[in-house]
Amino acid sequence: MSEQNGGSNFPYEKEELKPEVKAELAKYYASEPDFVTVGPKKYIFLRPYLEDVENVYHMPLRPSDVFVVTYQRSGTTWTQELVWLLANDLDYETAAKIPITERYPFLELFMFFNKEWQQDLLERYEDKDKALDLIEKIAKPVSERLRLAPSPRFIKSHLPMCLLPPKILDTAKVVYVARDPRDVAVSCYHHSKLFKVLDFPSPFKDFWNLFIRNLFTETPFFEHVKEAWEMKDHPNMLFLFYEELIKDLPAAIRRVADFLGKEVTPEQMARLCDHLSFENFKKNESVNYEELREYGVLSSEEKFMRKGKAGGWRSYFDEEMTQQAEKWIEDNLKDTDLRFPTVN
């Protein structure tokens, strides 16, 4: 069943999942996610996304805007910190004071926190003002907040390029980061266990089979990456691979600095690399999302920052899954020159 747009200015149809697909998802999740799909590529979202889909798509842009866009768990937070520091003349003091969640409004974060979640938080949290503040920060669309925000604005999104404002590259800058889909799947699996709102208690193999069938949020993965890859030569698009940042962080920093029109001295480079080293990064309270733990949003057994490496998928895949992944990747790269770097 699809919803026609009628008088809407949003060009894509929204469709319900088939009843048998919903029933299958209910077997794996602790609470059945209410997914819908959007557009001809059937990107999958939690239903609340539809509440702000038009405002996001038609969002007024400014030449000073900088977007960091990724398919989730592709090195987003790492890149956000790198981009923000370079754009703000390496102001470590402000970066430490202001959580990255406040420095970068997350366009579609609100879709993970529906009305039932908000009501539940208010009922069980004694400090109502604090609960309302959290709801305002993470459960409400940010399009209005962005309209009022001073320039320059730094914006995070996991939306595919087709669902962001259509003229985005004519006005703003976009840094897009891609990562090996096998590592993405493993990291998304842990992410869905970290955030209680997703609550995926089933084994990784079950998650993997849903992921490659485009039954996890904001899949299909390959369509997401290929849309950005096709725009990689636009002067306002910088396309990075997570594996490149892992292999040669100084080279990646230089590319980002050039893209933003900034220069980095050798001394500044050494300090920035140290700041962004995984050991330091995971201890950085401004970027590790630990402030959400006191609200009961996060599971006690998982961390937002996990391993910070490439190739960790090998510890999770059996022979059958490895072969399945190889075929899946090969099939999806047939029509493109996109190739993921390997890091030994």
User: What pLDDT, in 10s, does the model give residues 297-330?
Assistant: 555 554 544 555 678 899 999 999 999 999 999 9
Let me know if residue 175 belongs to a domain: yes
Let me know if residue 10 belongs to a domain: no
Residue 131: is its pLDDT beyond 60? Answer: yes
Q: What CATH number does residue 222 fall under?
A: 3.40.50.300
Residue 337: is its pLDDT beyond 60? Answer: yes
Q: DSSP state, 31?
A: S
Let me know if residue 89 belongs to a domain: yes
Let me know if residue 119 belongs to a domain: yes
**Residue-number span of the structural domain to which 78 is assigned:** 58-333
Q: How many domains does the chain have?
A: 1
Q: Name residue 117's amino acid.
A: W
Best-predicted range by mean pLDDT among 48-57, 170-179, 300-309?
170-179
Tokens of 103: 């420095």
pLDDT for 58? 95
- Helix (H, G, I), strand (E, B), or coil: what is residue 42? coil
Residue 66: is its pLDDT beyond 80? Answer: yes
Do 32 and 26 touch, CB atoms closer than 8 A? Answer: yes
Let me know if residue 312 belongs to a domain: yes
Residue 6: band (very low, low, confident or very high) from pLDDT cuts 50, 70, 90: very low
Let me know if residue 163 belongs to a domain: yes
**Residue position matching structure tokens 């080279």:** 251
Polymer length in residues for the chain? 344
pLDDT for 196? 57
- Helix (H, G, I), strand (E, B), or coil: what is residue 169? helix
Distance (Å, rounded) from C-alpha 228 to C-alpha 236? 12
Distance (Å, rounded) from C-alpha 81 to C-alpha 95? 8
pLDDT greater at residue 125 or residue 251: 251
pLDDT greater at residue 144 or residue 232: 232
Let me know if residue 52 belongs to a domain: no
Distance (Å, rounded) from C-alpha 185 to C-alpha 24? 19
Q: What is the pTM of this model?
A: 0.90
Let me know if residue 212 belongs to a domain: yes
Residue 253: band (very low, low, confident or very high) from pLDDT cuts 50, 70, 90: very high
Residue 120: is its pLDDT beyond 80? Answer: no
Q: DSSP state, 172?
A: S
DSSP for 21-87 reads HHHHHHHHSSS---EEEETTTTEEEEGGGGGTHHHHHT----TT-EEEEESSSSSHHHHHHHHHHHH
Residues 6+ apart with CB under 8 A from 98: 286
